[in-house]
Amino acid sequence: MQLLTEDPTYLAGGLALLAAAFLIALRLTQQGKFLVWAGVALGVALLSVVTDWLWVTDNERVEQVVYGLARAVAASDVPGTLAYLDDDVHLTGKATLSLPSRATRALVETQVANTKFDFLRIAGLRANVGGQSRRGTADFRVQAGGGTQQGAYNYNFGTVNTSWSLGLREVRPGVWKVNRITPVDVPRGVPFLPQ
C-alpha cells in the first residue's frame, strides 16, 4: 500500500516502461492486443499518480510541516516559524536542558529573528505517525550556513551539520504542529543554541 500512498514513482515508472514495451511489441507484430495492454498499463500508472496526489497521508503532512518550518526559519520569518509551533512547545535535550513553552517560544523567536541563513537544507527526513495517538515524530539532518547577531557581535558560523528530532501532534484534523524540539547532534560552540 505504501507504493500507492507514499511514493508511487517506482510503480508508475515500471508501468510506463511496460507500456513502452507493449508499444514496441505492437510496432513489431502489428497485433492490436498490445495496444490495449499498453493503454491499460498507462491507465494504471496514471491512476497510481492521481491516487498519490489526492490521498495525503499523515506522514506526508508531518513532512510538509518540517519542510514548511525549514523554509520559514531559512527566511528568518518569525511569525511563519511560530505558526508551525504548538502553544505548548518545549525544547528538550540533555538532562539539564528542558525549557518550558514560554521560554522555548522566546528562544525560537529571538534566534530566528537574529539569524540570517545563506542556505538551509533538510536531509534524511524520517516521519512516523501513530494512528491512534495522533502524535508523530520527525528525525532529520540539517546542513546550514550563515550568520547570527548576538548582542553587538555578528558570528558567521559557516557550514554546520546538525541532527534534530521533532515531536508533533495533530491539533485539528489534518493540521499538525510541533510540540517538542530536540537537538540530537549539534557541534559544540554553535552560538544559536543554549549549551
Residues 97 and 167 in one domain: yes
Residues 31 and 79 in one domain: no
pLDDT at 1: 46
pLDDT at 57: 80
Q: Give the residue from 73, 74, 108 showing the smallest Cα distance to 180.
A: 108
Instruction: Report how many domains make up the chain.
Output: 2
pLDDT, mean of residues 28-55? 88
Residues 89 and 43 in one domain: no
pLDDT at 195: 46
- Beta pairing partners, 162: 142
DSSP for 12-63, please give it. Answer: HHHHHHHHHHHHHHHHHH--HHHHHHHHHHHHHHHHHHHHHHH---HHHHHH
pLDDT of 176 strictly over 60: yes
pLDDT at 152: 75
Residues 66 and 47 in one domain: no
pLDDT at 18: 93
Q: What is the CATH number of the domain that holds 168?
A: 3.10.450.50
Residue 19, domain extent:
2-54
Residues 104 and 162 in one domain: yes
> Tell me: the pLDDT tens digits for 143-163?
988 888 777 777 777 788 889
- Assess if residue 74 is contained within a domain: yes
pLDDT, mean of residues 37-64? 86
The pTM assigned to this predicted structure is: 0.74
Residues 92 and 42 in one domain: no
- Assess if residue 170 is contained within a domain: yes
Residues 31 and 119 in one domain: no
- Assess if residue 193 is contained within a domain: no
Residues 62 and 140 in one domain: yes
The answer for 174, left when phi > 0, alpha when psi is -120 to 50, beta otherwise, is left
Residues 30 and 72 in one domain: no
pLDDT at 190: 59
Residues 41 and 137 in one domain: no
> Tell me: the pLDDT tens digits for 7-32?
778 888 999 999 999 999 999 999 98
Residues 130 and 161 in one domain: yes
> Tell me: the pLDDT tens digits for 100-136?
889 889 988 988 888 889 999 999 999 988 877 889 9
pLDDT of 84 strictly over 60: yes
Look at residues 54, 76, 91 and tell me which one is the last residue of a structural domain: 54
Residues 13 and 68 in one domain: no
